[in-house]
Amino acid sequence: MPFLSTRALKGLQQYQYKSGGYTIFDQWHQPFWNGITNLLPTWLAPNLITLIGITGLIVAFLVTATMVPEIQGQAPVWVYLMNAAAVFSYMHLDCIDGKQARRTGSSSPLGQLFDHGCDALSVHYLLACVATSLSLGSGWQSVMGMLSIMGPWLLAHWEEYHTGTMTYGTSTWGLTEANYLVITLHLWTAFFGVGFWTSHPSQLLPFIQPYLPAAVQGIGPYLSWADFQFNHLVLIAMGGCSIQLASQQVWRVLVQGEGKLQPQEKGHKALGQEAAVSHAAQMAAFMGLGVWWLLEPMHHGPAQAHVMGGAFGLLYALEATKLVMDHMAKEPFEIFWWPLWLLGGLILNSKLHCINPALAAWLAATAAVAKYLQYVLSIIDQICQFLDINCLTIKHKTI
């Protein structure tokens, strides 16, 4: 059964890309990106560039999951260097695919969809490797770190659906800067080890403790100065940025909302404050069930933490890609509901132990891979046939 109607395909055909703006750092990189693009062969399809980049991230994740199955502990230095190289490569390849499309006259709505789809897929792989470099383990710390990035990323596309503009950062801070920060984090771990992140500021800066408020020194195991670790500082920074971004995104949609959309951008979208709240509630329900499942007590199997995280990451990529697809096709948005039923069943199973939770995690991951590939390959095939283009090769040029 095809996922896209003829109306959706026609809406996609009329889609026009709108840049979200560039940071100062992006502007500095433009000569470098343009120079690299000019060195590429003209037969190289833009989507193939993106695919090479995401493949590097996936390989880095699989190696990291194999070497550090519990998301904590020291790995060989080359693992962290590989993660830094994978993020560096993906970041720059992701920035030149559009330039290659314009250079070869092969720009199409599929290219934008493919780009955002790969970005959605990359979120979990990148975050899992960051959690490993920080030695966060498989508990609440990794989950909260993941949520602090996944939430605003999804809300950015929710905002784009309702306002026509995706804002993810400011004129001085955006995705390029964030990616360089991730690269720096991996390199720091490579040179100083995970022991730095699990060490306590109280050990390195004992003279600070007498000046801390008593509340900071004594409330709970997570706020105790003696138990506080450097990786907790990273989590606090991520959480603070997440709250700021999310609150701004919600404000822009619910206060400004539909009025920012041009008439030709509305199509058949479900717009307005009521629709925006409904869409946000659906995504919140999905994220909430995912977090609940990931926080369930572990019944350890081989790399179960990575298997559970990987399964949820694929479901997240599926829901995010559908949101991007509905935005570009100007169609009413509704999430896929079966992932929520799957997550609910996994949570129930973790309580009742109907089947081994480790086996359940592997089954969920298998289902997630199958359904994700089914959706992605199906819509790519439909779009290619409708637009008379190829996905990974340049069929013909339109200047």
Average pLDDT over residues 304-311: 93
Average pLDDT over residues 378-389: 96
With beta carbons less than 8 A apart as the criterion, state whether 159 and 165 touch: yes
Q: Looking at 29, 116, 157, 200, which residue is catalytic?
A: 116
For 245-295, how does the pLDDT look when each residue is reduced to its tens digit (9 = 90+)? 999 999 999 987 656 778 888 999 999 999 999 999 999 999 999 999 999
Average pLDDT over residues 352-370: 94
Q: Where are the domains of the chain?
A: 41-204+217-387
Find the range with the poorest average confidence among 92-106, 123-137, 242-256, 298-312.
298-312
For 157-168, how does the pLDDT look when each residue is reduced to its tens digit (9 = 90+)? 999 999 988 876
Find the range with the poorest average confidence among 112-126, 165-179, 206-220.
206-220
pLDDT band at 396 (very low <50, low <70, confident <90, very high): low
Average pLDDT over residues 204-212: 57
Rounded Cα distance, 290 and 253, in Å: 24
pTM of the model: 0.93
SS3 for 305? helix
Q: Radius of gyration (Cα) for the chain, nearest Å? A: 22
List the structure tokens of 137: 């383990």
CA 7 to chain centre: 29
CB-CB neighbours of 372 under 10 Å: 19
pLDDT for residue 258? 57
3-state helix, strand, coil in the chain (%, to 5): 75, 0, 25
CA distances from 109 to 36, 50, 115, 318 (A): 23, 15, 10, 18
pLDDT for residue 399? 43
pLDDT for residue 166? 85
With beta carbons less than 8 A apart as the criterion, state whether 297 and 274 touch: no
Specify the long-range contacts of residues 370-379, CB closer than 8 Å, at least 24 apart.
Answer: 371/318, 371/338, 372/314, 372/315, 372/317, 372/318, 375/3, 375/318, 375/321, 375/322, 376/117, 376/321, 378/2, 378/3, 379/3, 379/4, 379/113, 379/325
Looking at residue 24, its amino acid is I
Q: What percent of the chain has pLDDT over 90?
A: 75
Catalytic: 116? Answer: yes
Rounded Cα distance, 227 and 221, in Å: 7
